Amino acid sequence: MTTVVIKPSSWLTEGIRVERVNNLNLFKFTEQLGLRMQELLDKKKADLLTPSETAELEAIGELDTIFSYINAINASQS
């Protein structure tokens, strides 16, 4: 069995945007990546994820965790 690994950095150019909210620059997913995450979550709920989709969902989740941390740090320093 081959292990599939997807790096969160693979979405740097297409999946990430910076949005100004209350004088803060917040990192967010693009609409496209947000929709893809929702699609994968729905498939996971239905127990229909392939191994590569599982890896993709894990990478998107890791990116979400990183964004949450960075955004929290930015908010606390303003």
Give the pLDDT confidence of 41-69 residue by residue, as tens digits.
999 999 999 999 999 999 999 999 999 99
pLDDT given at position 21: 92
CA 43 → CA 5, 12, 32, distances in Å? 19, 24, 17
What pTM was estimated for this model as a whole? 0.86
Q: Which is more confident, 62 or 13?
A: 62
Per domain, the residue ranges of the chain are: 50-78
Q: Is the pLDDT of residue 1 over 80?
A: no
Q: How far apart are CA 68 and CA 51, in angstroms?
A: 26
In this prediction, residues 4-31 reach a mean pLDDT of: 88
Confidence label for 9 from pLDDT (cuts 50, 70 and 90): confident
